[in-house]
Structure formats: C-alpha cells, structure tokens
Structure 1
Amino acid sequence: MDYCIHGERIAKVVSRNEKNEIQFYELSSSGEYALTGSVFLDKPVLDFKFKSDDDNKGDTSNTKNSKKRTMNGDETILNGDAKESLLAVLLEDKSIVIISPLSNSIVRKINIDKSKNKAIAVVSYQNDTIWASTESQEYLLKISTNADNKISKFNVPKYTAICITKNSEVCFGTASTTDFRLEIGKLLKSKYSKVKEIDLPQEIKSVEPLCQHYFVILTLSQKVYILSTETEKLKQLECQEEVEKIQVLHLGEEKYIIGVMHQGLTIFASDGSCINSINMDQMTDQPIDHVFSLGNVPFISWQVENTLHFKAFSITQNETIELKNGTGKSLEPNNDSASVIDLPDVKKISGMDTIAILKGLHILLCEPSLDKNKVIQYTCSSIIDTEAIKQIISSLTHEQSEKLYTIISEEVAKNVNENHEASLWLQWILLLHGGALAHISSVSVKNLQNQLQSGLKIMPHLYAIKGKLELLQLQSQLRSNTSLGDDYISTTVENESILYANGEVDDTFALIQ
C-alpha cells in the first residue's frame, strides 16, 4: 500500500527507478480528490506516516500555503499552521525527512545512520517524536523532531505486533513456541520498563488502542477480541467471516470497531456489540485499504492500479457497497450528442469507458517504446468530458505526463484550430503538471507556444475563407430555387471577383425578377 490518509489529506508515493515522488491530494466530502502538490525525493521510500491530530494542538509553528517542489537535499525552516499534519518519511539511506503538505516542502531532515540497527518502518509520529521499528524487531528507535534531532534506542521484547499510545504506553504481541502474550510497558527516558504481561489463546497479528485500559486484538487465526488490561479479560467479537484487518473508527465522541473482511465490513460498538454488517459487491480484486472518517462521515478507500477510490457508507444502514468507481461526480464520459444527422438502423457507438482509458494509458505510458497512435486513440478519440480528463491526468505521475505531453503537443501543433479534444488534454496537462514539465530540459514548452501563436495568426484568414464559402453556398441555393415555379429568383454578379469575407450580400448584388 503506497498511500496514507489523515483527515482530508492524502499522501501517495509514486516510485520511478531509484527516486520517489510524494504526491499530496485533498479529499472532499463527496469522495473526489484533487492534487495539491508534490515533493521529489532522491532516495527510495521505506515507510511514511502522518503526525497524529491531537499532537498538532501543541505545535506553535505556522506554515504558509504555497505550492513549491523541492529535492531531498533542500531543507527549509518550519513556519506553518498549528493544525498542519506533517508527514514523516523514512528513506532507504537511513534518514527521515519531515514534509509539510501545505508548503509542499521538506522542513527537516534527520540522519539516523549512526544507529547500528536499520529502521524499516514508522510505528508512530506524535508529540514531536517518531518511533521506528528495526529489522530485528528487538529494538525501537525514538527520534526527536526538535532542533536537537536526538536519537535513542530501546531494547524491547521481540514482537509480532506493536502499538504505541499517546501517553507513551506500548503494547507488544509476543510469541514463543507454545506461549502467546500481550506485553504492556512504558518507554521511559533511557529504557523500556515492563508493566504487565497477559496470556492469550493465539498469536497476535495486530493490536489497536480502543480507550483507556482497552485494546482491540486481531489474531493470526483472524479472530477479533477486546482486551481489558485491568481485569485481563478477553471478549471475542462474533464475525460471520474471517477478519483480515481491524481499525478503530472515531466519529465525533463515538468509537467503533471495524472488522474488514474479503466480502464486507462488520461494525461493532466500543463495548463489542455488533451494530451492522455491510456486504461488498466487488468489481475489483483489490482489498479495502483504509476505513476512516471525514467530517463525521465514514469512508472506505481502495486502489486499482495507480488510481485511488473512496466511498462513504453508513454505520447503521444495511447496504451493499460496489467497489469500482468510488463516489462523488461520475467519471463516466458524457455521451450526449448535439448532432442533427439521423442515421436510422445504425447503433450508437459510445465513448470508451474512463477506467478503460486510465488503465490503457498507464500501460502504454509505462512501456519503453511509445505507440503514439494508441495513445491518441485512448485520448482524443475516446472522451471529451472535461472533468473526466482532469481526473485522469491528475492520477498520472510527472514522468507519465511528460510522455503524454510530447504526443499531445505534437498532435495539437498539426492543426491548432481543429484539434479540440487534444487541446483539452493539453490544457489539463499544463495546468496540473506544467511546473514539473518546465524543469525538464527535453520538453520544449516554448516551441509549443510558438506553434500555437502561428496558428492564431492564420485564424482571420480562415474566417475570410469561411465567409466566401458561405456566400457561394447562398448563391447555389438561390439558383436552385429557379426550378420551384414560374416566379423564379435569379442572381447576377456585376463583378464576380468581389467576395465578402463575412458572407453578406450587397443590396445591388441580387436582382429579383
């Protein structure tokens, strides 16, 4: 899974060769999302996580909203909104960068290569502290995001699952040959201190905090339990199917336990009572990635190839959710035609489906040798819906948009005044990816500008020719009326070389007999 969600913000990793791009999107309540900016990194990304909401309340930084792109080595001072959700990104070169989604810039870079144990995942980002797990899963790294960039290493029990709460309480799922336990402890200034150990019937796959002294546990056998750390009692939650993932959903003051299964969702109250079951009409093999809330509305998200999809659902209403195109405005092309030509007994040919266009473009633009004719077929010959074109182009990487720009700009340059469909694609490529294209030496935006300007210069001549053609058509119509009766209309031209550019006829031009 190469994206994460925090409120209305989405961070997505796009990999290309040995470099990565972090793209930021903003999600609306209707389920639509729009690209707001991106940051380029010169090292591969191992893991990334947003900073927790509650921790941002104590952050006194202020960040201005600007859309600039920076490379990994460029570090800027953090000046930002107190409620901004920063993103911690763990890189393969043993460094962590903190990225601001508002300014689309790296605000801090922390080198952790001095640590003997390589960090492989970001466990938690809260209270100006990043907790990272190591390859051996026997140590935790505590990384301060303050000016000191202090790094501490904690020796912890080898774990199969881990959860760190907001008060630095940590839970480990541990396993031996015969025993399975949940170990609870505290991460103090210099060491880990075990507080309690609770025996479990099965090995833990994941653990999530529910409320004070309560945790939700998913076992490897795909059973779900609520555990009280005070009474050490387990309560198994009844699910119709095996649960693949658990999440705790916050809606206002209420908390719900969501069991994600292959064919649906099971929703439980915080006391473990079952509230609702939702079936999934799966039109894709992709599983549900996230269950989250936006404005007290629950959403699910999933990914098909390079495209993200979102859909709202009801906690209490029994419904069937179709996993195909998400919600919000439809991405289907508008097939309404304004043509006045009637072709009886001929079936109407509709435009290519938007999802098919998107899949086809991703395949074509990732191939080493581009098939220009197929790319043009997937674009100019398929769809004229401006909103759909915008959504498709926003899902492309800058590398893919560069290839598409090269083909579309050539197509537009062939006939500046006629290629309306191609010009729509070119418009959104420049609007959404123009900043990146301007920095690519192999792409000549200036050349396109010259071609467009030369096309505009011939527009008056084209209108003049159009006027002449309209005049000739009018003459032909007047002459054809002579066969309609005795009273006929004849037209003569004293000087046949006189043609009017606007298609009008002078009063002395026609003689009515």
Structure 2
Amino acid sequence: MKFSIYEDRITKLILRDDGKNEFQFYKLNESGELNLIGSIFINDPILDFIWMKQVKSLSNGQSNGHKSSKKRELNGGMKSSSNIETFDGNLIALTSNSLLIISSTSNSILEKKSNEYNITKLLSAENGLILGSTNNNDNIIQWDLMNNDITKIKVPKFQSILLSRDTIFIGTQSGLQVGHFEKNKFIKENEIAYKKGVQLIVDIDLDQNLIQSSNNIDILTQDSTNKTIYEGDDIKNIQVINAIEERRIFIITTNSIQIYSIEGQYIHKITTSQPIDDILQIDDNLFIIWHNDNDIYSQQFSISQSEIVVSPPTNSQTNKSNPTFIEFDENLLTTTLTEESLEATLIQSLDDNITNPTTLIEICSSEYDSEVIKSIIIKLTVPQIEKLYQFISKEIAKDSSKNYNLTIWLKWILLINGNHIAQNSDLDLKTLRSSLSDGLKTLPNLYSIKGKLQLLKLQSELRNKAVNNTEEAHDITTTMDDDNIIFANGEVDDTTTTIA
C-alpha cells in the first residue's frame, strides 16, 4: 500500500483483486480520528501520486512565522518564500500514458493530460506547476498545467533532489552537487563528497539542510560545514516540524522517534512499539501515522513522552456517529424535460427581474444527468451563474442530504466557475462550506451501510443458487413462506421458519 500526506489530508492507493486501483481519501480531525471522505477507481496502473499545494505569497509585511527568503522558479525568476500553503483538494496521479488531476472533494477526474515526456516520478506539485523526473533520473520535467507548457531540464543522474530554493541541491551516488538551473540545464557551483551517496535532502531553513548519506544524518550549513547528528541503519524518515513554537528535527527509526533542535542538539527520544511512517501536526497537536497491510491509522502523542504504544483503535475506542436519515422531498418536480427545454426554462427563470426560488429549485431538481447539467452550465453567462449559485448553495446549506440532484448542479458550477465565485466577495462560501463539512461526516456510515447491503445481497444470491441446485439434483420441491423467515447476518432464525 502506498499513501501520500499533506497537512490533515491522506490518500492511500489500494490495488484491488480485479486489477483496478482505488484511491481512498481521508481527513484527520483534531481528536486524531481518520475519517473516510471519498474514493475513486482508476483503471490504469498508478506510477506515482502527490497532493497539489496552493502557495499564496504574503504582502504588506505580513509573515506566517517563518523566516523570509527568496525562492527561484526553474530557469530563473525569483519569488518570495513568505507564503501560506493552502489545500485545494486536488491529487496529481501519474500513469504510464497520462497525468490525472483528481478532485478529492467531488471524487472525479477533473482533467487528463498525455504523459508525452514519459515522467515516471513526481517530485512536487505547487500552484499548478508539476515537477517530475524520467526513468533514468537524469532529466527534470517542468509542467505548467495552466498554460500546458512543458520544459525538459538536463540534470546529473540523481538519487535525491531539493528544488525549493534559488540554490538547487542534487544528491548523487558519490556526493552532493550544488548549483542552479539556467537555459534548461543544471549549472554546478560546488560539490561535496559523500562516499556512500546522498539518499535524502531535507530543507531546514535558509542556511541549513539535512543530508542522509547511508546510515548518517548530517546538518549541512551554507558554508558547506557538515555536522553528523545521528548514525544508525534503522532510519525510516526525516521531518522538520514546528513543535511547541520551535522548529525541531524528527528522525523516525524502526523503533523510535529521535528529536533534535535545528542546530543539531539532541533533545529527546521516544520509543515506539512498532515502526511508524510519518508525523502530522494539526494546530498544536502531533500525531503519528502508521499502516498495517491496507489499513492506515493515526494516534496523538506529545514530545514529552518517553514511549508510544502503537495500537489500532478498537470498536470501543471508535466514536460512533448518530444514525443518518436521508429525507426525500415528495414535492420536488419529477417531470422529465429535454435538454433544450430545460435549458430554455432555466435561462428564462434566471433572466426574470424577480426570480422565484421555488420554481428555480424545481427546474434544477428535475434533472440528474451529469453530462446534461455540465453542458447547460457551460452555456450560462456569468450573471446567470452567480444567481444560480446563490439559490442552489442556499438550498443545499439548509440540508446537504435532502436533494441529490442539486449537488450535481453545484459540483459543475464550482468546477467550471469556481475561480470566479471564490474571488467574488458578494457570493457567500462560508455557509455552504460548513454545511458540506457536516455532510461529509455521514460518509463513513453510508459506506458501512453499502458494504452490508452488498454482503446481504451476495448471501441471498448464494443461498438461492444452492437451493436451486439441490432442487434440480434431487427433484425435491420445497416451498418457504418468506414472510416468516428472518435473516440476520446471513443466518436463518429456525424458531420462526415455516416449511409448507
């Protein structure tokens, strides 16, 4: 099982028995619970996947608590690193033939692009800019999704690479090369020898990096000074996290978490009862992430602990949600309209000086075909979209589980015109976001119900098949009164079964 983590979001990739790949999307809440928020099946084998980040630069002297520095876009161009990372819910997935942009909020493929440069590994995804490498790790592909511009940059064959700043660090089998990109190639400025190669480079701050070379972890300063802070053959991961208002280095080994200051001073060791994969931070809370086969788990901890007993939640530890009731409004319009008549009726309603909300909602509720709705949304003008969004979002905010057809309309409004709506201060997003977040909490219950229904259906089919085979083989006719039979978890209550 592979998984990718960004902030409080986790996606895991599961290879099903039928050959299909399933992405499952999870969100970690403040109490440490992993909630399943959706999934999507992909037919093609997945080579790699990564979350897309949205980085917004701060202005007017604002700061997010980190030191301001300068970063260089590939092939020049400086940009400030005083920024805020935000999450847009999109996952970038790579197949041998395609690059897929997948929405974890709508559980759909937003866009599919041809992998014409044969990218095999994704290095980063930020603000619509994808950085990937080819099979031999001797070329970096820069892919601007907004303009569909692709640039191929020649680099030394690398084991690891850090592209986050104006100085580029490339780890090879023999050492660390330091330089920059210019005219679609890497220009080496300095080289530091590491006899056992460089397997991992982690950014600490403007002046320091963490270097993993075989069993050693070193702090490398800007003046090329090396300081070894850890030695061992059990290194699994290295992270730099803000903990208790200070940036600290967390070295994850097979049975412990080693904590250091960013200057390399040893602080504390936490033993773990089994290997963990990652550490997440939500506000001031820290969580460990680990997996077992296809299951992924989380558990809260503090850096003052001396030991973490890693254990998956039991049924008694899992918080059970209240039953979810889905209401069906019998007053909804059920007359089926053609696409042309639906479009004409909707536009007429939107263009009226005083639009009747009830009529508009009934018109939209009468159509559930996603392709038809998408086709109509594309044809609407901006003023019509704004008015339609206001009425639909207000209706969904009342109860997100009441009218499924409206959610399809809302999905295509946001996918096609989301950028305009987000920038329009007159259009309210907070109420809708709050309502949809509440609705997401019901998904685990619905997945559970779906699984149980599928199990009961399969049991019923197998039982009927067995009865039919017996009747054909022995020519025995048995009549059963279904009204008096109670099936519980696939078993028959013999005390209430009548055989005629």
TM-score of Structure 1 vs Structure 2, range by shorter chain: 0.5 to 0.7
Q: CA-atom RMSD, angstroms?
A: 3.6
Match of 2:209 among 215, 232, 240: 215
The alpha carbon displacement at 1:419 in A equals 4.8
Match of 1:267 among 228, 251, 259: 259
Q: Which string of whole-angstrom CA distances, capped at 9 and with x for unpartnered residues, describes residues 419-473 of structure 1?
A: 56679xxxxxxxxxxxxxxxxxxxxxxxxxxxxxxxxxxxxxx9xxxxxxxxxxx
Distance in 2 between residues matched to 1:277 and 1:331, nearest whole Å: 29
Distance in 1 between residues matched to 2:257 and 2:219, nearest whole Å: 17
Distance in 1 between residues matched to 2:178 and 2:484, nearest whole Å: 68
| Residue identity opposite 1:195 in structure 2 | E
> Corresponding residue for 1:87?
91
Summarize the Cα distance change of 1:25–1:158 in structure 2 as closer, same or farther, 3 Å threshold: same
Match of 2:190 among 184, 189, 196: 196
SS at 2:238 equivalent? strand
The alpha carbon displacement at 1:119 in A equals 1.7
Match of 2:217 among 224, 228, 241: 224
Are 1:318 and 2:305 an aligned pair?
A: yes
Summarize the Cα distance change of 1:42–1:234 in structure 2 as closer, same or farther, 3 Å threshold: same
Are the aligned partners of 2:236 and 2:277 in contact in 1 as well (CA < 8 Å)?
Answer: no
Are the aligned partners of 1:280 and 1:322 in contact in 2 as well (CA < 8 Å)?
Answer: yes
Q: Which string of whole-angstrom CA distances, capped at 9 and with x for unpartnered residues, describes residues 158-194 of structure 1?
A: 11222221x464311112xxxx321122234633332
Q: Which string of whole-angstrom CA distances, capped at 9 and with x for unpartnered residues, describes residues 461-499 of structure 1?
A: x9xxxxxxxxxxxxxxxxxxxxxxxxxxxxxxxxxxxxx
The alpha carbon displacement at 1:35 in A equals 1.6
Summarize the Cα distance change of 1:329–1:227 in structure 2 as closer, same or farther, 3 Å threshold: farther
The alpha carbon displacement at 1:215 in A equals 0.8
Distance in 2 between residues matched to 1:30 and 1:294, nearest whole Å: 10
| Residue identity opposite 1:48 in structure 2 | F
Are the aligned partners of 1:169 and 1:185 in contact in 2 as well (CA < 8 Å)?
Answer: yes
TM-score (norm 1): 0.57
SS at 1:45 equivalent? coil
Range moving further from structure 2, 7-16 or 237-246: 237-246
Match of 2:272 among 259, 276, 280: 280
Q: Percent identity?
A: 27
> Corresponding residue for 2:425?
none
Summarize the Cα distance change of 1:395–1:137 in structure 2 as closer, same or farther, 3 Å threshold: farther
> Corresponding residue for 2:395?
none
Q: Which string of whole-angstrom CA distances, capped at 9 and with x for unpartnered residues, describes residues 85-137 of structure 1?
A: 421111122x1111222222222222122x2xx32211111232111111111
The alpha carbon displacement at 1:251 in A equals 4.1
Higher relative contact order structure (alpha carbons within 8 Å, sequence separation ≥ 6): 2
> Corresponding residue for 2:281?
293
Summarize the Cα distance change of 1:82–1:312 in structure 2 as closer, same or farther, 3 Å threshold: closer
Q: Which string of whole-angstrom CA distances, capped at 9 and with x for unpartnered residues, describes residues 389-432 of structure 1?
A: x9799699x9x878635335669997898556679xxxxxxxxx
TM-score (norm 2): 0.58
The alpha carbon displacement at 1:295 in A equals 2.2
> Corresponding residue for 1:27?
28
Are the aligned partners of 2:96 and 2:115 in contact in 1 as well (CA < 8 Å)?
Answer: no
Range moving further from structure 2, 95-104 or 199-208: 199-208
Summarize the Cα distance change of 1:123–1:415 in structure 2 as closer, same or farther, 3 Å threshold: farther
The alpha carbon displacement at 1:19 in A equals 2.5
Are 1:406 and 2:394 an aligned pair?
A: no
| Residue identity opposite 1:330 in structure 2 | Q
> Corresponding residue for 1:149?
148
| Residue identity opposite 1:404 in structure 2 | L
Are the aligned partners of 1:412 and 1:422 in contact in 2 as well (CA < 8 Å)?
Answer: no
Distance in 2 between residues matched to 1:332 and 1:82, nearest whole Å: 29
Distance in 2 between residues matched to 1:103 and 1:56, nearest whole Å: 27
> Corresponding residue for 1:243?
235
Greater C-alpha radius of gyration:
1
SS at 2:171 equivalent? strand
Summarize the Cα distance change of 1:248–1:28 in structure 2 as closer, same or farther, 3 Å threshold: same
The alpha carbon displacement at 1:205 in A equals 1.6
The alpha carbon displacement at 1:198 in A equals 2.1
SS at 1:217 equivalent? strand
SS at 2:27 equivalent? strand
> Corresponding residue for 2:106?
103
Summarize the Cα distance change of 1:401–1:50 in structure 2 as closer, same or farther, 3 Å threshold: farther
Summarize the Cα distance change of 1:105–1:331 in structure 2 as closer, same or farther, 3 Å threshold: same
> Corresponding residue for 1:376?
none
What 5-or-longer segments of structure 2 have no aligned partner? 60-84, 321-442, 465-481
> Corresponding residue for 1:186?
180
The alpha carbon displacement at 1:310 in A equals 0.8
SS at 1:407 equivalent? helix
Distance in 2 between residues matched to 1:20 and 1:327, nearest whole Å: 28
Distance in 1 between residues matched to 2:109 and 2:201, nearest whole Å: 32
> Corresponding residue for 1:308?
296
Summarize the Cα distance change of 1:182–1:407 in structure 2 as closer, same or farther, 3 Å threshold: same
